Amino acid sequence: MVRNDLEGQGIKDRGVLDAFMRVPREAFVPEGTGLREAYGDHPCPIGCGQTVSQPFIVAYMIQMLGCVPGDNVLEVGTGSGYQTAILAAMGLKVVTVEVITRLAARARGAVLGILPHADVSFIVADGYQGWRPAAPYRGIIVSAAPVSIPGELESQLSPVGGRLVIPAGEWSQSLFLVERVGDELTVRRSLPVRFVPLVRRRGGSGDDPNGRPRGDTE
Ligand code: SAH
């Protein structure tokens, strides 16, 4: 998988490739999923109507983040915990937010089962507006797609080159890379993608204390 689907398709970051070698994907898909299915280059069902992204997309998004060991990263959409484990195996300090309690609990068990010393905080909340208590972040990676990029996520980026990697779009989605330097944001559009929707729950963790909605509504 690493040689064909990742290196063969242009993933070059050694830290990303090494992390993929250390994290067994079968530990993050439901029991009974065959190895061929788990390691195929396609999304895989993980229960609760959600999927874990195909390995290439996970690797591509993490490579876009450009993080180095010790950087702090916010992941929105823990899901199976597979991507969380890859980020942790790269030596990153991870805060991961998941809206479905059952998935978050299962992911926590799976990640810590493989990487007992991983530096990961598992949070059950609506991550649409990020997770302010641990902001700013050197990287923010979002595994579900809003219609447009939430301003609150951009504001939680480190002003010293913080990067947000996020799928967004209404009828068709693309991957976006937002980079922040000071108050300047540079937005670049990358691959066309298809992710599950980023849901919004009223009264979520990141609600604006002034009651002023930020970002765009779905
Ligand atoms: N990175 C995950 C992908 C999971 S799919 C993995 O490796 O398995 C996307 C996940 O985003 C789902 O688990 C879904 O429940 C979650 N999600 C959707 N909207 C969310 C929100 N507003 N806040 C947090 N998680 C959300």
Task: Give the structural domain span for 48.
Answer: 2-193
Residues of the chain with pLDDT under 50: 204-218
User: Per the domain annotation, does 137 fall within a domain?
Assistant: yes
Residue 6 in domain:
yes
Closest alpha carbon to 151 in 110, 103, 183: 183
Minimal-distance CA residue to ligand 1 atom 11: 77
CATH label of the domain that carries residue 93: 3.40.50.150
Cβ-contact 164, 140 below 8 angstroms = yes
CB of 99 sitting under 6 A from ligand 1: yes
Q: Is residue 202 part of a domain?
A: no
CA distance readout (Å), 146 to 36, 74, 103, 154: 31, 16, 20, 13
As for how many domains the chain has, the answer is 1
Residue 3 is predicted with a pLDDT of 85
Distance 142 CA to ligand 1 centre (A): 8
Using CA atoms, how far apart are residues 6 and 14, in angstroms rounded to an integer?
A: 11
pLDDT of residue 206: 41
Active site positions, annotated: 53
Beta partners for 94?
A: 73, 120
Whose CA is closest to 139, among 90, 209, 200? Answer: 90
pLDDT number for residue 211:
33
Instruction: Give the model's pLDDT for residue 31.
Output: 86
Residue at 90: amino acid letter:
M
For residue 6, the 8-state DSSP code is: I
8 Å CB contact between 127 and 77 = yes
Mutate to test the pocket of ligand 1, among 120, 153, 198 (most ligand atoms within 8 A of CB): 198
Query: Does residue 200 sit within a domain?
Result: no
Rounded to the nearest angstrom, the distance between the alpha carbon of 200 and the centre of ligand 1 is 11
* Cβ atoms 149, 173 nearer than 8 A: no
Which residues are CB-neighbours of 82 under 8 A, at least 6 positions away?
23, 25, 28, 52, 58
- Determine the pLDDT at residue 202: 64
Note the pLDDT of residue 218.
Answer: 31
Q: Is residue 73 part of a domain?
A: yes
Distance 126 CA to ligand 1 centre (A): 10
C-alpha span between 198 and 181 (Å, rounded): 26
